[in-house]
Structure 1
Amino acid sequence: MEKREELYAGKAKSVYATDDPDRLILHFRDDTSAFDGRRMESLERKGMVNNRFNAFIMAKLEEAGIPTHVEELLSPTECVVKKLDMIPVECVVRNIAAGSLVKRLGVKEGEPLTPPTFELFLKNDELHDPMVNESLAESFGWASAEQLAEMKALTFKVNEVLKQLFADGGMLLVDYKLEFGVFHGKIVLGDEFSPDGCRLWDAKTREKLDKDRFRQGLGSVIESYEEVGRRIGIDFS
């Protein structure tokens, strides 16, 4: 596969065209950002860790019948993905109260949420990814009712699979965000699943093992990502 021009550079990943119109190359960089890009740093090994982490998780989800865009690892920091027509709405599931939910509602961090919550957020950095609902998504043409229903069903299916996977590694899946796109008329999970886009706590100590270590200045960010990976069976060597 021939790697061609860069199509897009986000905060931590770059997307490249290929000689196949239906395939892209996703490059995970060492860049790390927080607070809508107001804080940026480069963390050694991060691109490699997140690329392998994402490929492992996407393979587990595929095994469970959840369609994803990842096709194969190309290098330590790159993978081949399907070219999706991305839907500009993030799906967020929360199993435990943390982060923006705590600030928004004044609830206690660590409070279990039964059943888990489901929220939608518009992907727009300038507006700080505002919360939206299904009605707004339909009215503005971001997604159809059928697409939104499928995205919600798949997001909760991901929860079933990954809560157990992380529990087996002694961790709590606190919350996470997912992005979807359309490939040949079918809703497919896109973007990435890594500690950058979810919250993971040690089940016994409640130690934070995700990107909150960067946001809150706790240190050992990549070491924690690798620890999470090792607990669920990822080999980073």
Structure 2
Amino acid sequence: MEKRDRLYEGKAKVVYTTDDPQRMVLHFKDDTSAFDGEKIEQLAQKGVVNNRFNAFIMGKLAEAGIPNHFEKLLSDRESLVKRLEMIPVECVIRNRSAGSLSRRLGVPEGLVLSPPVFEFFLKNDALHDPMINISHIKAFGWAMEDEVARMAELTFQANDVLQALFADAGLILVDFKLEFGRFDGEILLGDEFSPDGCRLWDADTQEKMDKDRFRRGLGGVVEAYEEVARRLGVPL
């Protein structure tokens, strides 16, 4: 597999084309951002940790029957993935109240949500990823109704798998976001799953083990990511 042209550079990854038009290379950067890119820093080794973390989680999801774009690790910082036609909608599951949900509804952080809250957001940094609903998605043609249903189904399935996985590691999966795309007529999970895109708390102490450490200036961001990986058995 030959890596070729830079296709896109985001806040945390660079995407490259390959000699196979249906495959891409993801390069995980050390860049860390928050508040729609207003706060940016480089954290040594974060890209390595997230690349390996993502490979581990995508493997666990695939084993559970959740199709995704991940194919294999290429190096410490790069992975080979299927090239999806991405849908510009983020699917968010909230098992406990935190972040924007607490701010929007004026509820304290940490409330157990039963059943979990499911939300859609438009993936658009310039608009600060506004919350949307299925009517918006259909009206603007971002996805078909059956695709939306499949995205929701896979998100809830992933929640069941990941809650159990993290609980076994002494962690609470507070919330997370997933992104999906089309590949040969099928909806697949795309992008990445790492502590950058979820909230994880220590089950005993409630210590934050995710990107909230960066957002809130708590320090020890990469160290927390590494601890989560260690508990899960992710090879670093």
Same fold (TM over 0.5): yes
Shift of 1:199: 0.1
Identity %: 67
Secondary structure of the corresponding residue to residue 68 of structure 1: coil
Give me the whole-angstrom Cα distance separating, in 2, the residues matched to 1:39 and 1:213. 13
Partner of 2:85: 85
In the alignment, is residue 199 of structure 1 matched against residue 199 of structure 2? Answer: yes
Structure 2 equivalent of residue 186 of structure 1: 186
> Match of 2:22?
22
Instruction: State the SS of the aligned residue for 2:196.
Output: coil
Q: Find out whether 1:51 has 2:48 as its counterpart.
A: no
1:1-237 alignment to 2 at 5 Å? 1-236=1-236
* Cα distance per residue 1:75-104 (max 9 Å; x no partner): 100000000000000000000000000000
Read off the aligned partner of 2:141 and give its amino acid letter: G
Q: Deviations over 1:26-73 (max 9, x none)?
A: 000000000000011000000100000000000000000000100000
TM-score when scaled to structure 1? 0.99
Shift of 1:230: 0.7
C-alpha distance in 2 between matches for 1:49 and 1:7: 23
What are the ranges of 5 or more consecutive residues in structure 1 without an aligned counterpart?
none
Q: Deviations over 1:107-160 (max 9, x none)?
A: 010000000010000001110000000111011000000000000000000000
Please report how far the alpha carbon of residue 209 of structure 1 lies from its aligned counterpart in structure 2 after TM superposition: 0.2
Opposite residue 156 of structure 2, the aligned amino acid is F
TM-score, structure 2 length as denominator? 1.00
Residue 64 of structure 1 aligns with an amino acid whose one-letter code is A
Which consecutive segments of 4 or more residues in structure 1 shift more than 4 A? none
Q: For each residue in 1:158-185, what CA deviation from the matched residue of structure 2 results, as whole angstroms up to 9, or x when unmatched?
A: 0000000000000000000000000001
| Structure 2 Cα separation of the partners of residues 42 and 5 of structure 1 | 24
Taking the aligned partners of 1:123 and 1:150, their CA distance within structure 2 comes to 18
Counterpart of 1:127, as a letter, is L
SS of the aligned residue for 2:195 comes to coil
CA RMSD of aligned residues (A): 0.4
Counterparts of 1:151 and 1:235, CA distance in 2: 29
CA distance in 1, matches of 2:21, 2:110: 45
Q: How many angstroms does 1:218 deviate by? A: 0.4
Q: Deviations over 1:177-214 (max 9, x none)?
A: 00000000100000000000000000010000000000
Distance in 2, Cα, partners of 1:212 & 1:205: 15
Cα distance in 2 between the residues matched to 1:96 and 1:12: 26
For 2:181, the aligned partner's letter is G
Whole-Å Cα distance in 1 between the matches of residues 36 and 52 of structure 2?
A: 25
Structure 2 unmatched ranges of 5 or more: none
Shift of 1:235: 1.9
